[in-house]
Structure 1
Amino acid sequence: MADSGTAVSISVGGYPVEIFPGGFDEKFRCNSCTKILRDPVQSFCGHRFCKSCIQEVIRQGERVQCQLCINEGAGDDDDYSILKEEQMFPDNGVRREMANKEVKCINPGCTWTDIFKNYDEHARNCEFQSVECPECKTLVEKIKMEKHLTESCSGRKINCKTCNQEIAMKDEAQHNKVCPKVMVKCEACGKKKILREKLAFHQEKECASQKVSCPVGCDPVERGAFVGHLEKKAGMHIQWLMHQIEALTREVREKINARTPMDEVNRVGQMITVLQAKIAEQDNQIRELMDRNADQPRGNNQHELQQLTKQAKALDLKTGTFEGIVTTLHREIERCITALDTLERHKNSERETNEELKRKIQGMERAISLKDVTISELDSRIRSLEIVSYEGTLVWKISEWSKHRREAIAGRVTSLYSPHFYTGRTGYRLCARLYPNGDGIGKKTHVSVFFVVARGNYDALLSWPFIQRVTFMLLDQNNRDHVVDSFRPDPASSSFQRPTTEMNIASGCPLFMPLKKLEEVGTSYVKDDTLFLKIVVDSERPAGGGAV
């Protein structure tokens, strides 16, 4: 077909067909992704699609023909089978039919059932849905995420057993390969139990079997045989050493020039130059006189020789004096160089000390952070123990009510859990769950209150299912008109069987208190932005005491 498209494959856009436990009408199925319609629309040719599916199909060509029309024998010139966005309209009739159909959650472990119009909200909040772990990126059920992050996540933080550095669990093996505090073996000499951080020093300074490089350029030699190697080729090494001494001499002079006041250096240099010139001049004069006297009788020049001898002695005395001055200056220069080297070593030592102190401070900061977390957990447990009840009754004070209402309306925090209470010291462990903006059939119209059976330490000794009557009381703070509702648990419901997880699914009163009545002027259910909910568990069966 020239302009018409062939069958178009698109990404899945509908709901899973398994959500309808009792089956479904085929008109609820998307004709593109073959799943349950999501935001159903109907094309000009009469076939139904998910809104996202049909948009994806239309984007794939200018004249895309409906695949079902092709299967039913439509030709290229049948314009009614061409899919156009402007000819699509919402199929509200099918939407209404689907809204009240019974559905279930398909997440493993979730027993939620309700009508279809509430499925999207449950799917967003279902605690059994798989979500990606932020640390290890694996899929984990939302209800198990906290336990996963603390017990089995490969990305959770641990401390290295040898160096105490904080690392991810998954990186432990890789870290052990580079950990500086692990004991290792020198492969060259076979020595064991050397800290990895000191292995390099051992190999560079101590290991007799380690190959060391000869500075002259010879082949590497074992450290134990290095002295013999130097003696074997002494001439070549001495020549190299002389070159190094000359280079060091030049470097020392440069440092002296850089660190000694230039005026002093110049003055001493000028003095030495003048002395050298005078000594050379006197030497020339002495040689001339000696040459002259060699041709003359000794007696005629006796007086002159005496004078020259005195002058030579005086020059020797001056020369010795200036040589002493030069020697003193050299000693002073050497002292300055030694002091500079000492200062450099001291500076390096202080730098290493600062690095060590920095590492210790970081370790202490990590330890303090862990202690802060422990203190916070203990504080939370102490506060819970202060308000715990063992009489099957709980008066739950809910402060900042207006804030909880705003958060529930905005969808940020839809429900609140009460503190746990017990029917006895070894009794059932219970709590309540309140929805400030309602839940289920009471959503946006009522305050919903549900009862939760939680896993306790003495469940093995109790009678199951839980069948005691439960009463909810919203207390009028003027003690006039309390709102009371009660129910007896259904023994067949999984909500009242012995818990296999931390808490069973909540069950109770979705239409407990109309929001209009709660907010009426003159009522005293909310005072100072606080309300009180009382939960009473009937003790008609001796479960409150614990053991059966």
Structure 2
Amino acid sequence: MAESETSVSISSGGYPIEIFPGGFDEKFRCNSCTKILREPVQSFCGHRFCKSCIQEVIRHGERVQCQSCINEGAGDDDDYSILKEEQMFPDNGVRREMASKGVKCINTGCTWADVFKNYDDHARNCEYRPVACSECQTLVEKINMENHLKESCLGRKIKCKTCNQEIAMKDETQHNKVCPKAMVKCEACGKKKIMREKMGFHQEKECASQKISCPVGCDPVERGAFVGHLEKKAGMHIHWMMQQIETLTHEVSNKIQALTPMDTIERMGQMITVLQAKIQEQDNQIRGLMDRNADQPRVNNNVDIQSLNNKTKALDLKTGTFEGIVTTLHREIERCITALDTLERHRGSERETNEELKRKIQQAERAISLKDATISELDSRLRQLEIVSYEGTLVWKIAEWSKHRREAMAGRVTSLYSPHFYTGRTGYRLCARLYPNGDGIGKKTHVSVFFVVARGNYDALLSWPFIQRVTFMLLDQNNRDHVVDSFRPDPASSSFQRPTTEMNIASGCPLFMPLKKLEDVGTSYVKDDTLFLKIVVDSERPAGGGAV
């Protein structure tokens, strides 16, 4: 049994040397960080290191020589002093020796003292441990955090006295500079107690000292002096207004011309001009006749007057007819202008409706995307539930085995995790981790299989450490020669304690199955590019691996 060297420990570096009040043996000291060993491992040269320290040292060079060996006089050609990950082994002897040593808590104010094996649990839960405040990130003792959040934390929430908005204490000064309900003074007119959110309206509509632009193009003028400015330069402003009226008249004429054909308007105008000329001619004739009649005897006056009256009536009839035509034409032009304005307003309303529909479509698309993601997640969970086991046994089907081997040999995906399984409905949550190209001392020569204890929903009700026997079986698909290996967990190993992260460090069999035997033509462990691994957990505890 060996621990997976690719797992990452909970903490980095060693323990402070102050935890041993009565002194300590120098073999407890890490040869890298010089602190007390955390998860001690021993190198091929015999020196001890924290697991995280040696991983960090090896990561920064391809051929790293042990510094302690160099200090002791080792040369560059001494292979035993070269640090290699596959030659590092857990030093359980030193671990057991350290476990019974008396230690104390180094947090100020804490009086806890016990043996070393209980130090990690206390350090995680110590009430005097400095923790970062979630609001201001200041390091505060855990026992004093509640008072800190209520009384001295600069990130605690308070309410603005003016707008009643909830803000952080440290942001109060900055908020007061932009608070919309705060009373401020207008710098232009000097008026006080104006609500900041209404200052824009005051400056735009009310402030007498605020300068406004003259539409003619003059320099900005204070609102209070604007009327006097218009009177002072009345001629220039009237001239500008006449230009605007002329522009509007031209635009109206263009709209009328766009609605009514020009040849019709010109024809009507010519007819009106002809009628006016004829009326003027008839009027002149009537005046001439009246003048002649005044000089001549009144013999045939009645006949002439009757004739003139008939002509006048005919002219009046024609004039009335054309006046009706002109009036109808004007009404038609006004109707067309009104229809044009209505059409423009309708187009504006349709544009707004289209924009609103676009916004709703975008919102609907976002909602559909979120639902698709939720459906995909639920589908994945459903597939996991279909294969979950609650009997402490898992048959893991590993398809596309050749693909996994190639990726592991290339260093792209070095390990595979099995689906989770359980020792009971309220039991331990477990899984397996397989290295197709081996790990640790079995790298490149064996298939390595490790066992992982994962964090479950019922861990608080279970017995710890986990001690059930674990059996791995690589199934021969011809049912003749299964490969079987088993181990009983080490109760002192952190791999089998109650998980404090999502998964504990994996432990198992780095030399589980030789690759040469697996790939032998005469074996049937791999068929149709598929391999089957069975994991069995013995139910030795009285509660059957469930809650106690």
Shift of the 437–36 alpha-carbon distance from structure 1 to 2, 3 Å rule, reads closer
Do the aligned residues in 1 keep the contact of 2:475 with 2:482 (CA within 8 Å)? yes
Match of 2:347 in 1: 347
Match of 1:497 in 2: 497
Inter-partner Cα distance in structure 2 for 1:483 and 1:35: 34
> SS where residue 532 of structure 1 aligns?
strand
Deviations 1:35-58 (A, max 9, x none): 9984679xxxxxx9xxxxxxxxxx
- Counterparts in 2 of 1:142-221, with a 5 A limit? none
Q: 1:35 to 1:541 in 2, by over 3 A?
A: closer
Aligned residue number for residue 273 of structure 2: 276
Counterpart code for 2:358: K
The answer to whether the aligner puts 1:530 opposite 2:527 as a matched pair is no
Mapped to 1, the partners of 2:304 and 2:250 lie a distance apart of: 46
Deviations 1:315-359 (A, max 9, x none): 332222122112212211222222222222222222222222222
The Cα shift of 1:241 comes to 7.7
Structure 2 match to 1:320? 320
Of 263, 272, 290 in structure 2, the residue corresponding to residue 266 of structure 1 is: 263
Task: Write the distance in 1 (CA, Å) between the matches of 2:479 and 2:44.
Answer: 52
Residue 287 (structure 1) aligned to one of 263, 284, 287: 284
Query: What code does the residue aligned with 1:406 have?
Result: R
Structure 2 CA distance for aligned equivalents of residues 299 and 236 of structure 1 = 63
Alignment CA distance shift 1:479-1:190 (3 Å)? farther
Give, in whole Å, the separation in 1 of the partners of 2:182 and 2:278. 71
Task: Give the secondary-structure state (helix, strand or coil) at the position aligned to 2:498.
Answer: coil
Determine if the alignment matches structure 1 residue 478 to structure 2 residue 475: no
- Identity among equivalent positions (%) equals 68
Equivalent residue number for residue 381 of structure 2: 381
Q: How does the TM-score come out when normalised to structure 1? A: 0.58
Query: 1:393 and 1:321 mapped to 2: Cα distance?
Result: 108
Contact in 2 for aligned 1:471/1:536 (Cα 8 Å): yes
**1:61-76 paired onto structure 2 within 5 Å:** none
* 1:225 equivalent in structure 2: none
Which residue of structure 1 aligns with residue 440 of structure 2?
A: 440
1:251 deviation in Å?
Answer: 1.3
Which structure has more relative contact order (CA 8 Å, sep 6+)? It is 2
**Any idea what the Cα deviations from partners look like across 1:181-231, whole Å, max 9, x if unmatched?**
xx999999999999xxxxx9xx79xx9979999978999999xxxxxxx9x
Q: Which amino acid aligns with 2:537?
A: V
1:18-97 correspondence to structure 2 within 5 Å: 18=32, 38=61, 94=76, 97=78
> 2:447 and 2:58 mapped to 1: Cα distance?
36
Change (3 A) 1:35 1:377: closer
Q: Which residue of 1 aligns with 2:152?
A: none
- Alpha-carbon distance in 1 for matches of 2:526, 2:520: 10
The whole-number CA distance in structure 1 between the counterparts of 2:438 and 2:236 is 95
- Partner residue in 2 for 1:513: 513
1:79-124 deviation digits (Å, cap 9, x = unpaired): xxxxxxxxxxxxxx94x75787447xxxxxxxxx6548xxxxxxxx
- 1:390 Cα deviation after fit: 2.2
1:362 aligned onto 2:362: yes
Tell whether 2:400 aligns with 1:396. no
Contact persistence 2:464–2:497 (CA under 8 A): yes
- Give the whole-Å Cα distance in 2 for the aligned partners of 1:320 and 1:238: 40
Structure 2 CA distance, aligned partners of 1:483 and 1:331? Answer: 103
Give distance in 1, aligned partners of 2:437 and 2:42.
29
The RMSD of aligned alpha carbons is 5.1
Partners of 1:97 and 1:543 lie apart in 2 by: 55
Matched, 1:416 2:419: no
State whether structure 2 residue 458 is matched by structure 1 residue 458.
yes
SS at structure 1 position matched to 2:328: helix
Q: What is the alpha-carbon distance in structure 1 between the residues aligned to residue 42 and residue 345 of structure 2?
A: 81
Please give the alpha-carbon distance, in whole angstroms, between the structure 1 residues aligned to 2:447 and 2:44: 34
Whether the 8 Å contact between 2:455 and 2:500 is mirrored in structure 1 is yes
- Could you say if the C-alpha distance between residues 545 and 494 of structure 1 is closer, same or farther in structure 2, counting changes exceeding 3 Å? closer
Paired position in structure 1 for 2:71: none
Q: State the AA in 2 paired with 1:326.
A: V
Are positions 1:253 and 2:250 aligned together?
A: no
Secondary structure at the aligned position of 2:318 is classed as helix
2:534 is paired with a residue whose SS is strand
> Post-superposition shift, 1:309?
4.8
1:390 maps to a residue whose letter is Y
Inter-CA distance 257–184: structure 2 relative to 1 (3 Å threshold):
farther
Amino acid across the alignment from 2:370: L
In structure 2, what is the Cα distance between the partners aligned to 1:401 and 1:453?
A: 25
Distance 1:420 1:22, change over 3 A: closer
**2:544 match: secondary structure:** coil
Distance 2:58 2:541 in 1: 49
Distance 1:503 1:514 in 2: 27
Q: What amino acid sits opposite 2:510 in the alignment?
A: P
Query: What is the one-letter code of the residue matched to 1:315?
Result: L
CA distance in 2, matches of 1:280, 1:102: 122
Structure 1, residues 223-243: CA drift from partner, whole Å, max 9, x if none?
xxxxxxx9xxxx999998887
Deviation digits for residues 501-545 of structure 1 (CA, Å, limit 9, x no counterpart)? 000111111221122222222321122222110111223344633
Distance 1:306 1:115, change over 3 A: farther
Instruction: Provide closer, same or farther for how the CA distance between residues 300 and 450 of structure 1 changes in structure 2, counting only shifts above 3 A.
Output: farther
TM superposition shift of 1:306: 5.4
**SS of equivalent residue, structure 1 residue 510:** strand
Mapped partners of 2:284, 2:379: distance in 1: 104
* Contact in 1 for aligned 2:44/2:83 (Cα 8 Å): no
Q: Is the 8 A contact 2:58 2:83 kept in 1?
A: no
* CA deviation string 1:20-69 (max 9, x = no partner): 99899xxxxxxxxx99984679xxxxxx9xxxxxxxxxxxxxxxxxxxxx
Write the letter of the residue equivalent to 2:276. Answer: I
- Contiguous gaps of at least 5 residues in structure 1: 1-16, 25-33, 42-47, 49-92, 104-112, 117-150, 153-172, 178-182, 195-199, 223-229
Partner of 1:371: 371
Indicate the SS of the match to 2:381: helix
The CA deviation string for residues 288-317 of structure 1, in whole angstroms up to 9 with x for no partner, is 763685477344594666555544443332
Please name the residue that 1:468 is paired with: 468
Shift of residue 427, structure 1, vs aligned partner: 2.2
Using a 3 Å threshold, how does the CA distance of structure 1 residues 286 and 305 change in structure 2: closer, same or farther?
farther
CA distance in 2, matches of 1:313, 1:486: 130
| 1:297 alignment partner, SS class | helix
Q: Distance in 2 between matches of 1:280 and 1:332?
A: 26
Which amino acid is 1:279 matched to?
Q
